[in-house]
Structure 1
Amino acid sequence: MQDVVQGARGEAPVMLSCEGLTKTYREGPQDLTVLHELDLGVRAGERVAVVGSSGSGKTTLLNLLGGLDRPSGGSVKVAGQCLAELGEAALGRFRNRHIGFVYQFHHLLAELTALENAALPLIIRGQKRHEAVARAAGILERVGMAARGDHKPGELSGGERQRVAIARALITDPSLVLMDEPTGNLDQHTAASILALMDELASSAACAFVVVTHDPALAAHQDRVLRLNEGRLQPE
């Protein structure tokens, strides 16, 4: 379990750290523990895949890592900040600054253009619109979407929408990027292009990546693969 805790990037700073992470739900008269005292450390520039069967708790884990849910026990630290110490408003601000999310189904706003979707986290933060849009234009160019910035999601292919979602996740220079089945809704060719993009981004980003997936090809592209089984993480 030591490599699960420590990561594999030498002296790079630890961007994500979990200790004793536990999640229990109440089901009628009984408690159901989904995650059992997980320990995990991921360093800057490192990509970790989490695999496991449906219902094993992968999405629950991702929600805890991103501060979208609170653990029943243990702690989650992102960039050295313990999420449990933050109230809801402060946690929302922290997520906006330090955590990027990429989902299987993109969650882009249909009424906004690709450029506006990518700029949204900065606009929510209160940055001036022209500054946010200029930053978004640069990020879209980085993910190969510069020519499609004025198109709305309905006018984009699945792979293009996913590239916009990745741009939106990266625009704040986050400490941690969480991906939930980012290629699960894409054809094989498009998924391969997203894998290549992730390789390129990871080589230059100073953040940690955690990718939840059922896709063996996507998992194989990460630096480490961990399996979530019966509420516990173990190296593949």
Structure 2
Amino acid sequence: MSEPNMDTTRNEERPMERTAGQPMLECHDLTRIYREGPQDITVLDGLALKVHAGERVAIVGSSGSGKTTLLNLLGGLDRPSRGEVRIAGESLLALGEAALGRFRNRHIGFVYQFHHLLAEFTALENAALPLIVRGLSKKAAEVRARELLDKVGMAARADHKPGELSGGERQRVAIARALVTDPSLVLMDEPTGNLDQHTAASILALMDDLARNAACAFVVVTHDPALAAHQDRVMRLDEGRLTAQPREAATER
């Protein structure tokens, strides 16, 4: 991977100062309506959610309930039909596409259900890429990326490309990539679905550490009752609305 032609020292940013309990994600009246022929299909209907720094929230619900649509709205990958999303105090609706892209790089980490790694890059290069896009030097970005790969148990596979990795290994690289920027908010879509029990436990421990020490907020969409029960709160998405439920009841109907 070639090194960007820029003054990398000048572009490096210090992590945002965050305090546990500080509102990190706020949305209100969040509505998403899709047009299908002559009909309007309401997927999310006036949804409200607040997540604080250092807090981990699980969202459960049946297939087709709109969980992925919700994540896309929270991450600024889609625009709501009505309502607002604020992250770290910033309204996503107020940002143009270029500014929104920079904001996502600075504040949001994504872990998709499918890894979306770049096939031509190594695990290390994939994990470092968000920092290089931000403007860090290749060397500085890869130092940080190696730290995260080590935390997810992938240090020994850092120089391997995705085609040489198992599904679980690719997912661990994707998790490292999402966390490498020290984001304010991490959005996870079935993050442990392809992981064995031991590796899943290490990912949960890493989430605990980041929530506690880095005051990072997590929103985790999952069908896994054990993963949901590990979070601080569990919300069920049903008929376009979110309702709280006990963690021990985090199972699919």
For 2:35, the aligned partner's letter is R
Deviation at 1:67, TM superposition (A): 0.1
Q: When the two structures are aligned, how many residues end up with a matched partner?
A: 227
Structure 1 position 184 matched with structure 2 position 198: no
Q: Distance in 2 between matches of 1:160 and 1:11?
A: 31
Kindly provide the CA deviation profile for residues 140-179 of structure 1, in whole angstroms up to 9, marking residues without a partner as x.
2233322221122222233322221111111111111000
2:100 corresponds to 1:91: yes
Distance 1:190 1:142 in 2: 10
> In the alignment, which residue of structure 2 is the partner of 1:144?
153
Post-superposition Cα deviations, 1:52-87, rounded to whole Å, max 9, x if no partner, equal 011111000000000000001110000000000001
Is the Cα contact below 8 Å between 2:112 and 2:191 reproduced in 1? yes
What corresponds to 1:5 in structure 2?
A: none
CA distance in 1, matches of 2:159, 2:132: 17
Q: Is the 8 A contact 2:56 2:217 kept in 1?
A: yes
Range with greater deviation from structure 2 (182-191 or 79-88): 182-191
Q: Is the 8 A contact 2:54 2:210 kept in 1?
A: no
Distance 1:207 1:201, change over 3 A: closer
- 1:231 aligns with 240
Moved more, 202-211 or 64-73: 202-211
Equivalence for 1:195: 204
Equivalent in the alignment of 2:9: none
| CA displacement, residues 104-158 of structure 1 (integer Å, 9 cap, x when unaligned) | 2211112111110110001112222122112212222233322221122222233
The residue identity in structure 1 corresponding to 2:71 is L
Superposition pairs of residues 52-67 of structure 1, within 5 angstroms: 52-67=61-76
**Contact 1:180 1:211 survives alignment (8 Å):** yes
Distance 1:175 1:11 in 2: 11
Shift of 1:32: 1.2
Gapped regions of structure 2 (runs ≥ 5): 1-18, 246-253
Question: Distance between the aligned counterparts of 1:116 and 1:142, measured in 2?
Answer: 16
Partner in structure 1 of residue 124 of structure 2: 115
Taking only the aligned residue pairs, the percentage that are identical comes to: 78
Q: TM-score normalised to the size of structure 1? A: 0.90
- Separation (CA, whole Å) in 2 of partners of 1:25 and 1:69: 12
Q: Provide structure 1 residue ranges, at least 5 long, that are not aligned to the other structure.
A: 1-9
Rounded to whole Å, the distance in 1 between the matches of 2:32 and 2:53 is 26
Q: Secondary structure at the match of 2:200?
A: helix
TM-score of the two chains, using structure 2 as the length reference: 0.84
Q: Which moved more, 1:203-212 or 1:17-26?
A: 203-212
**Aligned to 2:172, what secondary structure does the other structure show?**
helix
